[in-house]
A and B are shown apart, each in its own frame.
Chain A
Amino acid sequence: MKLKKLAAVTTAAVMMATPVLADLMFPSLSYRTGPYAANGTPVADGFADYYTLLNQRDGGIGGVMTRVVECETGYSTEKGVECYEATKGDGALVYQPLSTGITYQLIPKVTADGVSLLTGGYGRTSAANGDVFSNVFNFPANYWNGASHAVNHVLDVNGGDISGKSIALVYHNSAYGKEPIRTLEELAAKHGFSLSLLPVDHPGQEQKSQWLQIRREKPDYVFMWGWGVMNQVAIQEASNIRFPMENFIGIWWSGSENDVAAAGDAANGYKALTFHNVGTNFPVFDDIQKYVVDAGLAAGDGSNVGTVLYNRGLYGAMLAAEAVKAAQAIHGVADITPAMMRDGLENLVVTDESMEAIGMKGFGPNFAVSCENHGGPGLGAVQQWDATAQSWNMISGFEPSDMDVIQPLIDADSAAYAAENNIPSQCN
């Protein structure tokens, strides 16, 4: 009986929680609590602030106001499902869950429900094949591009020849951390370097064994696929064994201010990949200061503005907003539906002109999405930490990855998924 009473109260609460308005709804499956809260908070802030800016400065997108509905997942897949079901009936246009686990779970669901999923820089890499994954987008770059960027950077540093070099991969022992292994193995065969794998179990507080092994084997380079506390400990341990920081390259999820904070000056020179620019040296940040922070509308306390993860949230929000504009142009309707949003994402073109128009010229790479290619060309850059200035600096432009190696892998993995789930070709 108790149960039914609870159920009744819940029903009432759910009923009240769902107002229906004519606006553009962007669900934000954020995590401001739990083990990864330190990273989730700035991303969620950046995401929310961009839409606040659009509403305050432009009156929404194409005259329709935007609305961000935050739902706390705590990085748990079960909460993620709850959040998805709670928001999907509310006109949600595109989901950006910022979690590989939740992404895997939502891939079949969004396709069935006709909503879109945008997983820039994470999620299922083979979703770049739009022929199979009709509603999933992972531009501008994915993990396999990332693996190739890291190798390309090492190639650049060594004048194009790294045969006989050794690279160690320190990775989070989960689906996320295992993503780059296949690509790196292929690249190792192609370029003749040797690859050793060092898994670190969640959460990664204790990594002495891994770093002692690195100290013994002395690899020339160390790549890292880490997240949360694992990053901070790894950078600390790397400095403890005096591994040269400029030979230590992290994926974009291992390259925020948080990750280098604990190690202090010792982290100087550490490198990380990125697919968007760093800092606040863009006109859009003046507007954020003026319309959002100074107006007291910032999602957080405003202290995160301009950090790497804040910029990433901002960038994701901007891509979705640009896709809305594309959808509005295609369909000639301002208040678009989730299905139109999908078309917008699929026909998104990011150019210097379009970025300049929103005050973000050079903030991210230029790319175009098509029906077959939901991942874009996979451009990425390298950033380096300067501990004296306490800032990340870009040390390369947005450069392409080795698609000759990656494309066959994407095709094979997506073909396996299509066969397993009987998915017909979408683009012909």
Chain B
Amino acid sequence: MLYREAGDFKTSYAKDSQTFPIKFDRWGYWVIMVIAFGVVPFIINDYWVSAVLLPFLIYAIAALGLNILSGYCGQISLGTGGFMAVGAYASYKLMTSFPEVPFFFHVIIAGLITAMVGLAFGLPSMRIKGFYLAVATLAAQFFLVWLFNKVGWFYNYSASGQISAPERTMLGYAVTGPYASASAKYLFCLVFVVLLAWIARNLTRGSFGRKWMAIRDMDIAAEIIGVNPLAAKLSAFAVSSFFVGISGALFFSVYLGAVEVGEAFGIQKSFLLLFMVIIGGLGSIFGSFAGAAFLVLMPVLLKNLLVGTLGWPTDLAVHFEFMIVGGLIVAFLIFEPHGLAQLWRLTKEKLRLWPFPH
């Protein structure tokens, strides 16, 4: 009843093309914002931040980035883990080389550096398409991981090659290191998420986004109507890598605090992120969040349910966790092949008409 367009009149073009055309959604958006910024930081503890919220927020950023590349521009990439590693190592080098610069800028610059690297590895996309490109980006994945593992300069020649984030503050509150409070870490990441989601939304509905989508739908046709494929594909690679780089920097410095490149940014990470984007919904901002939430929250939820509540042996619980997550993915596909985002859109369609069936 609440969820409808009736009585919500648009009187200008700006209003007509706004992100949330329905009043209820706009309200919902602001309510979520107020809760996220005003309520959540006061009620969360370490467990919630470290096990649920931080991974969700950080993976959401990376999924947004990958979605721009794969969902909007149609270039499937399996190099995401490698690009996250670039962000992480760039932020580590910046943090240790320029401790006087505020950490916020380190993260941004790490993102820019990753964008450069992404540009370089995006060049083969001029020639190679589809699954072949996906496997070609794997070259970036394996090469970058090998590089960070091999060259001592990247990890400041520490004995084992692990990098550890020193403590850095933001407005007087520690956001990295062991003494950072749960809410400081959460808010720091949340600011990035909101900022980047806003950028992603506005890029994808502007001329950039339309060019990307034209390339995705058919690159030759797009070229004929005047879209420069070089510029469009490379800009998608750059923007996507920027997002992924930021998420890599946050993943290392705020979330884990210490990483080892092969373990944290290996090929499994690239696949995980691709799964998030596909399960959430290709070409959808909401889908990036939904996919990240599904693959981050589901295992934690199942674990707490099976081990914590039902008291199963931990290994049986994990086996079932895998089976349930896998089964759910297949079930989702059979019921709604276009990801969680499409499910969400359909629900909204239905709600709009509710309680009338047609």
* A residues lining the B interface (CB < 8 Å): 2-3, 6-7, 9-10, 13-14, 16-18, 30, 32-33, 37, 41, 70-72, 74, 76-78, 81-82, 84-86, 88-89, 100-101, 104-105, 107-109, 111-113, 124-126, 173-176, 178-179, 182, 201-202, 409, 413, 416-417, 420-422
Contact = CB atoms under 8 A, between A and B. Distances in A.
B290 A2 contact: yes
B108 interface: no
Contacts of B264: 77, 101
Given A70-B314, A77-B259, A125-B159, 6 more contacts: A10-B304, A70-B313, A72-B315, A86-B51, A175-B161, A409-B159
B318 A85 contact: no
A29 to B, nearest CB: 10
- Highest count of chain B CB atoms <10 Å: which of A76, A78, A84: A78
A16 B301 contact: no
B293 A3 contact: yes
A104 B164 contact: yes
Nearest to A416: B158
Q: Kindly name the residue among A32, A77, A105 whose own CB sees the greatest number of chain B CB atoms within 10 A.
A: A105
A33 B315 contact: yes
Given A9-B301, A101-B260, A32 B159 contact: no
Contacts of B177: 108, 421
A179 B159 contact: yes
Size class of the contact patch on chain B: 35 or more
Contacts of B51: 81-82, 85-86
Given A10-B304, A78-B256, A173-B149, A421 B50 contact: no
Contacts of A100: 160, 260
A37 B315 CA distance: 9
A109 to B, nearest CB: 5
Interface of A is mostly: helix
A174 B314 contact: no
Given A33-B318, A202-B266, A111 B178 contact: yes
A6 B308 CA distance: 16
Given A17-B304, A420-B96, A78 B46 contact: no
Contacts of B158: 413, 416
A390 B55 CA distance: 45
Given A104-B258, A112-B179, A30 B314 contact: yes
Contact of A86 (B47, B159, B305, B315): B47
**What's the dominant secondary structure at chain B's contact region?**
helix
Contacts of B257: 105, 108-109
B159 A413 contact: yes
A52 B105 CA distance: 52
B49 to A, nearest CB: 8
A284 to B, nearest CB: 24
B147 interface: no
Contacts of B106: none
B336 to A, nearest CB: 13
Contact of B308 (A16, A32, A126): A16
Contact of A10 (B46, B52, B262): B52
A71 to B, nearest CB: 7
Contacts of A173: 149, 262
Contacts of A105: 256-259
B164 A13 contact: no
B291 to A, nearest CB: 12
Closest 7 CB pairs of A and B: A17-B308, A112-B178, A32-B315, A13-B304, A108-B178, A175-B160, A72-B314
A296 to B, nearest CB: 14
B297 interface: yes
B47 to A, nearest CB: 4
B233 interface: no
A30 B55 CA distance: 21
18 contacts: A10-B52, A13-B305, A17-B304, A32-B318, A71-B314, A81-B51, A82-B51, A84-B50, A104-B260, A108-B177, A108-B257, A109-B257, A125-B159, A173-B262, A174-B263, A175-B260, A420-B164, A421-B164
In this complex, the member of B47, B160, B315, B317 whose beta carbon has the largest number of chain A beta carbons within 10 angstroms is B160
B162 interface: yes
Contacts of A33: 315, 318-319
A421 B258 CA distance: 13
Contacts of A416: 158
B309 A16 contact: yes
Nearest to B40: A7
A422 B300 CA distance: 35
Nearest to A32: B315
Interface in B271-321: 289-290, 293, 297, 300-301, 303-305, 307-309, 313-315, 317-319
